């Protein structure tokens, strides 16, 4: 396979051999011995201007961590698309929260922002589902379609 720049993407193009050798030379003491995870996290945070980054082993684990970071817990509702992997709903249930499906945009098959808006309810108590509001704001600003700031904590 050939990339846009004409390079053969089936072959290593960077430091792959060096890194594999580094790991093999280190031995099999534990999964983080040569510090590759930490190096990836630091490089990622630097590249994207964040204070830190956290690696995960799967999309499921990543989504679960995001829910925990957003404070999602028992009684919260999390609006998700219906056309997705089962894990999207399962991680919500794992937090003892309730997945709520918003309809799709029939042209893009992506979640419809208007359908999300209709499903947003006032916070029940305690945990405010801030995770629901942030993606909506981001969607709006990416599309130059901001309708102002929503009320509630974020
Ligand atoms: C949209 C979506 N979310 C979550 C997942 C789960 O990711 P993983 O298998 O890495 O846990 C998948 C997997 O295909 C996916 O397609």
pLDDT by residue (tens digit) across 98-139? 999 999 999 999 999 999 999 998 764 433 344 444 444 444
Does the pLDDT at position 146 exceed 50?
no
Q: What is the pLDDT of residue 133?
A: 44
Comparing 20-29, 66-75, 120-129, the range with the smallest average pLDDT is: 120-129
pLDDT at 51: 93
* pLDDT on residue 29: 67
Percentage of the residues of the chain whose pLDDT score is greater than 90: 51
- Residues 25-39 have pLDDT tens digits of 887 666 666 788 888
Distance 46 CA to ligand 1 centre (A): 26
Mean pLDDT score, 48-55: 93
62 CB within 6 A, ligand 1: no
Contact 102, 77 (CB under 8 A): no
**Whose CA is closest to atom 14 on ligand 1?**
85
Please state, in angstroms and rounded to a whole number, the distance separating the CA atoms of residues 61 and 100: 20
List residues bridging with 90 in a β-sheet.
none
Assess whether the C-beta atom of 60 lies below 6 angstroms from ligand 1: yes
Pick the more confident residue, 29 or 58.
58
Q: Could you tell me the sign of the dihedral formed by the alpha carbons of 47, 52, 57, 62, in that order? A: negative
Please tell me the pTM assigned to this model: 0.68
The pLDDT value given to residue 83: 93
120 Cβ closer than 6 Å to some ligand 1 atom: no
When pLDDT is averaged across residues 14-25 and rounded to a whole number, the result is: 88
The domain limits of the chain are: 16-47, 73-142
């Amino acid at each position: 396979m050939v990339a846009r720049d004409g390079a053969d993407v089936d072959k290593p193009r960077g430091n792959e051999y060096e890194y594999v050798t580094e790991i093999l030379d280190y031995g099999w003491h534990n999964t983080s011995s040569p510090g590759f995870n930490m190096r990836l996290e630091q490089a990622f945070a630097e590249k994207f201007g964040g204070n830190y980054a956290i690696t995960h082993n799967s999309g499921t684990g990543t989504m679960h961590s995001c829910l925990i970071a957003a404070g999602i817990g028992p009684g919260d509702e999390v609006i998700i698309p219906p056309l997705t992997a089962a894990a999207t709903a399962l991680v919500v249930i794992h937090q003892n929260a309730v997945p709520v499906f918003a309809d799709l945009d029939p042209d893009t098959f992506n979640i419809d922002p208007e359908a999300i808006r209709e499903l947003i309810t006032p916070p029940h108590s305690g945990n405010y589902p801030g995770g629901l509001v942030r993606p909506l704001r981001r969607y709006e600003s990416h599309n130059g379609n901001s309708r102002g700031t929503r009320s509630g904590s974020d």
